Amino acid sequence: MEKKNLALNIENLSVKYKIYEGILEVIPGLSMHVEQAERVGLIGETGCGKTTVLKSAAAVLQSPPAIVHKDAIEVCGVSVDGKKGLRSVRRNVSMIFQDPSSSLNPTLKISTQMTDILKSQFPGKRKAEYGQMMLDALDSVSMPAPERVLGSYPVQLSGGMRQRVCIAMALMKDTNLMLADEPTTALDVTIEEQILDLLDKLVREKKKSLILVSHALGAIRKITDRVYVMYAGNVVEVGKTKEVFEHPHHPYTIGLMAATPKLTGSGIADGIAGDIPSYINPPKGCRFASRCPRCTQECLEAPPILADMEDGRQVACHHAGEEAAV
Amino acid sequence: MSENVIQIKNLTKQFKTKFGTLTAVDDVSFDIRRGENFGLVGESGSGKSTIGSMIVGTYGPTSGSITFRDEIDISRSSQSREPSLKQQIQLVFQDPGGSLNPRKTIRQILSVPVQLYAGKRLTTAEVEARIKGILEQVGLPVHYLDKYPRAIGGGEKQLVCVARALAANPQFIVLDEPTSALDVSIQAKITNKLIELQKKNDLSYLFITHNLCLVRNMCDRLAVMYLGSICEYADTAEFFENPRHPYTQMLLASIPVLSDEEERLKPQKIKSIGEIPSPLNKPKGCPFHPRCPFKKDICSQDTPQMREVSPGHFACCHCI
Amino acid sequence: MMTKELKANAAVEQGQNPRIESLKKSWYKFSRNPLSMLGLVVVLAVVFVAVFAPYIVPYPEDAGLTTKIAESFQGPSAIHLAGTDEYGRDVFSRMLIGTRSSLVIGLLVLAISVPLGVILGLVAGYYKGKLISRLIMWVTELFMAIPPLILAMVVCTMFTNGYLFAAIGIAVAWWPWYTRMTYNMVTSLSNELYIVYTELSGVKVLKILLSEMLPNITSSIVTKMSLDMGSIILTASSMSFVGLGVQPPEPSLGAMVSDGIQYLPEFWWLTVMPAIVVVLIVLGFNLLGDGLNDVLSVEEK
């Protein structure tokens, strides 16, 4: 694998916080990468550290309070450290957030906010040219009545339209890597479908790399090629999206899929008993051990490492491959 | 013949706002049978939560009626309701964090309904015994009684909310998106617990949600709402096999699913288009017509009437 | 989960109260901020001085009408830490005793204005939009429109001049701020789901106000009380500066500053020393208030 060609490369990232009760070991050591024009999903539930990973990739994780150690975080081959790194991140990364209403400034018209971005990206053009670029951008996200939208304030738009504006703004920057943090969680189902289709189409057309972070498994399945499953700060399973959804290997992934209510009406599995372990003095073995049906002595003693399986999947489990009934 | 717990007839609720009159619920009728888990599904602005609020009495309806157990008219706000009525109809909110007082321990929270609805003065030991019994029913350990809400997880908070509703010993519980704020693995636990409690305590539920998959797996019947009106209303199995209303089909087609098997169950011919209009300026005629791929001229002029398309299956569309 | 449960069980067995645990945590956060700690130390020192002033001052007799002409106008020295005044009285002793009266006035004002303001605020907030609420808020705003010092002076001159009436005078100007704050907090609390729930279940209004709402606003009230203590002492000093409140010969910080002005600049300690004490007290209470605010507002999340 040629490292230079990676859109994002994170090696051995660890993040800790010091608080009253002790030290929060949020992420013990995580590596992930995104290839050019690859669409990667990041699945995880509340508090599993997925947003922390995303923030480190975009170089916006505040440190302190976070205590960060890493071997490397590189965006398009350039380390994110220092001023030069930050500039590279700004040039190469764009973000879409969960809540489209708080990522737009409520006191400025959409046109003003979009012009600001254009001016920083393409300085020294005439007003009319900027206007045309904005219309094109809104057009590319299939915005109905783009002229009217440009003259509106964010509150005058619906949630779906605001998210379209955010995507249009993210696309105006000619970036390589797009980070989408739960972009459809705040939207209604029928609108979510439209936004996911749109993201899918745009990312394919413009050959961008995408990280889609979500707890909605269906959304990840719909538009990503490869998926990372995170649990309590660790990556527990990596593989081609289609394969992971068809045959999950890690007990956590299996439990998660089973707990999701299905359209087939086959009832709801009882979920995964228990809770995410505390990040203060986390279990020294596998962090999933206390909730795992396969747990043995080995799991309580040593943390599993993310190991390659025969089918090209990577799973962090001492009992990977033993497809016991869960 | 099963008895109805709740019967809703021509229920309408309008709110006066700065921008004009907002019709949140528009001429809605349905009934919830005894021992039934009735799903009320809709996207934002569909008026599903407004119906729930009227049943528990946050406010009264503008017109129409709500009848409890075929005899008691409850079309008014909670202040004018009998205490026994408040006891029989309970409520669980979507946001478990916000619905528990952060300054009270779980014990203090649960003792409020226990004492309020006991009908007589209870001794501390009686209250304690009852609280412990309820906590056990929802499956939380007893030492949680001394914890504050912030010290427990989201799913556990929601279980405390359920316990608080159960403490009143109700017949009917309105569940307003009880699992929407929770993670999938926890959601499963709560929904299964809710089903278990329903059977054990002979409860009826109104389950308000936007998640059709959840309804598929836990409700007996359901109604789908769009912009204040019911589009379709049927038994769960019949509904998912044979969705008739174009909006219902669009909703089903939009669900992001986990397997090809489920993918095949979705209506194939329809694709989601358009925006949900603001309830403040609802389209004339059928509220869904601007997004409907099958619309005819009549759809933009006349409001369609609810019709029985097959026994027990109602839909509200000109084109069926 | 297992470990968590074990830990919790252990906590229960050891008799650890969650309330005490949370207090410990608050104290940890508070103690990590040096400014808050400074405030706490100053306030504790002020309270200590106020309680024990008559027993610890070097010249207790100087609180009254003693004259030692031979010792008048001495600068700060080892014998008279803050010098002496025109009658030869020890300024340091008089300052400590003056601190006592300042603190007593402050406590009196809070004792009157906080219960009054909070009760009115609770009622007005709960019945928002009703006549009683509008009436209360109308009176509140009326009182807020008049500068506190002037209002206090009016009350003081209308009745007898002295300790108690100075406190009443300031309290009359102070309660509206508590009403206003409580009103705002109660109206926003009314939208919280747990309040909605108790209302729907038919819990009595008095119980909702006292057992559901009040615990949620106490931390803000306590914080405001600490911050206000400084301002009240300052107001009391301003009043004694113009001759209202504590009456001579009893020492008060404001009056000492005011009396000393005529001897400026040669005998600067007569003004500067008590002024520094006022500043120190006000600063101490403000720092403590800020510290409490940080800790308690985090606690709510």
Contact between chains at A245 and B259 (C-beta distance less than 8 A):
yes
Sheet holding B307-310, edge to edge: B89-92, B172-176, B204-209, B37-42, B221-226, B229-235, B313-315, B307-310
The beta-carbon contacts of A120-129 under 8 Å, at least 24 apart in sequence, are: A121/A172, A121/A173, A121/A174
> Where is B55: in which H helix or E strand?
helix B48-56
pLDDT value, residue C181 = 94
Give CA–CA dist A181/B100, Å, rounded: 29
Give CA–CA dist B199/A125, Å, rounded: 69
The answer for C 259-288 residues in CB contact with B (under 8 A) is: none
Min Cα separation C20/chain B (Å): 12
- Using a CB–CB cut-off of 8 Å, the residues of C that contact A are 1-4, 25, 28-29
Contact between chains at B58 and C200 (C-beta distance less than 8 A):
yes
Give CA–CA dist B93/B99, Å, rounded: 7
Span C231-265, pLDDT tens digits: 888 888 888 877 787 777 788 888 888 888 888 88
Give CA–CA dist B122/B167, Å, rounded: 14
Give CA–CA dist B112/B118, Å, rounded: 10
Among A74-88, A307-321, C15-29, C97-111, the range with the most confident prediction by mean pLDDT is C97-111
Min Cα separation A45/chain C (Å): 17
CB A316 within 8 A of CB A237: yes
Q: How many CA atoms lie within 13 A of A190 on its CB side?
A: 23
Give CA–CA dist C191/A76, Å, rounded: 48
Nearest CA in chain C to B81: C202
Nearest CA in chain B to A221: B258
- Which residues on chain A are in Cβ contact (under 8 Å) with B252? 263
For the residues A272-293, what does the mean pLDDT come to? 84
Nearest CA in chain C to B101: C194
The answer for A 273-292 residues in CB contact with C (under 8 A) is: 273-275, 277-278, 283, 290-291
Here the ipTM equals: 0.83
Cβ-Cβ contacts under 8 Å for A4 (sequence gap 6 or more):
A77
- Which residues on chain B are in Cβ contact (under 8 Å) with A43? none
Q: What is the mean pLDDT of each run of 10 residues along chain B (320 residues)?
A: 82 88 90 93 88 90 91 84 87 88 90 86 88 91 88 88 92 91 86 91 93 91 93 92 91 88 83 83 88 88 89 89
Residue type at C112 in one-letter notation: I
Contact between chains at B252 and A144 (C-beta distance less than 8 A):
no
For the residues A49-66, what does the mean pLDDT come to? 80
pLDDT value, residue C13 = 42
- Which residues on chain A are in Cβ contact (under 8 Å) with C25? 20-21
Tokens of C61: 């007799």
CB C95 within 8 A of CB C82: yes
Contact between chains at B254 and A271 (C-beta distance less than 8 A):
no
pLDDT value, residue C14 = 47
- Which residues on chain B are in Cβ contact (under 8 Å) with C9? 143
Q: Is the pLDDT of residue A6 over 80?
A: yes
Mutate which of B103, B104, B110, B157 to test chain C, going by most C C-beta atoms within 10 A?
B103
Give CA–CA dist C297/C288, Å, rounded: 14
Tally C-beta pairs within 8 A across A and C: 18
- Neighbour-count burial for B147-177, b at 16+ CB within 10 Å, e otherwise: bbbebbbbbbbbbbbbbbbbbbbbbbbbbbb
- Which residues on chain A are in Cβ contact (under 8 Å) with C29? 20
The region, left, alpha or beta by phi > 0 then psi within -120 to 50, assigned to residue A247 is: beta
- Neighbouring CB atoms inside 10 A of B200's CB total 10
- Which residues on chain A are in Cβ contact (under 8 Å) with B184? 45, 215, 217, 256, 259-260, 271
pLDDT value, residue A136 = 86
Using CB atoms, list chains with 3+ pairs below 8 Å to chain C.
Answer: A, B
pLDDT value, residue A158 = 80
Structure-model confidence comparison of residues A181 and B79, the more confident one: A181
- Touching check for A101 and chain B: CB below 8 Å? no
Where are the alpha helices (H) located in A275-320, listed in sequence order? 297-301
Give yes or no for a cis peptide into B170 (omega within 30° of 0). Answer: no
Residue type at B222 in one-letter notation: L
- Neighbouring CB atoms inside 10 A of B78's CB total 18
Q: What is the pLDDT along chain C (301 residues), one digit of tens a residue?
A: 334 444 444 444 444 566 777 788 788 888 888 899 999 999 999 999 888 888 888 888 877 777 777 777 887 887 888 788 878 888 888 888 888 888 888 899 999 999 999 999 999 999 988 899 999 999 999 998 888 788 888 888 887 767 788 888 889 889 999 999 999 999 999 888 899 888 888 888 898 999 889 988 988 898 899 888 888 888 888 888 777 877 777 888 888 888 888 888 888 888 889 889 989 998 999 999 888 888 876 544 4
pLDDT value, residue A323 = 59
